[in-house]
Amino acid sequence: MDNSSVIVGGITGAVIVLVLFAFVMIPPSTITRPEIAVPNGNDPSIVGETTTSYSKSLSLIEIFKNSEPGVVRVNVQRTQDDLSPTGVGSGFVFDKKGHIITNAHVVEGATKVVITFLDGRSYNAEIVGVDTSTDVAVIKVNADLSLLHPLSLGDSSNLQVGEPIAAIGNPFGLSGSMTSGIISQLGRLLPSESGFSIPDVIQTDAAINPGNSGGPLLNMRGEIVGINTAIQSATGEFTGVGFAVPSQTLVKVVPNLIQNGEYKHPWIGISGRDIDPDLANVLELKDAVGFLVVTVIPDSPASKAGIRSSDNIKEVGGVQYTIGGDIILSVDGIDVRKISDILIHLQRAKSVGDEMILEILRDGRTTNLVIVLEERPNGE
Selection from 37, 46, 94 nearest residue 69 by Cα: 46
Q: How far apart are CA 110 and CA 73, in angstroms?
A: 15
Angle, to 10 degrees, between the axis of helix 247-260 and the axis of helix 339-349? Answer: 50
What b/e sequence results for 118-137 when a residue is b if at least 16 CB atoms lie within 10 Å of its CB, and e otherwise? beeeebebebbbbbbbbbbb
Of 177, 213, 309, 310, catalytic: 213
**Number of residues assigned to the chain:** 380
Catalytic residue among 99, 105, 149, 345: 105
- In the residue annotation, 135 being an active-site residue is answered as yes
Of the candidates 131, 135, 326, 341, the residue annotated as catalytic is 135
| 251: Cβ contacts below 8 Å, ≥ 6 apart | 153
For residues 166 and 63, the answer to whether their CB atoms sit within 8 Å is yes
Gyration radius (Cα) of the chain, Å: 22
Look up 180 and say whether it is catalytic.
no
Number of H helices, E strands in the chain: 7, 24
> Which phi and psi angles does 28 have, rounded to 5°?
-55, -25
Residues annotated as catalytic (active site), given as ranges: 105, 135, 213
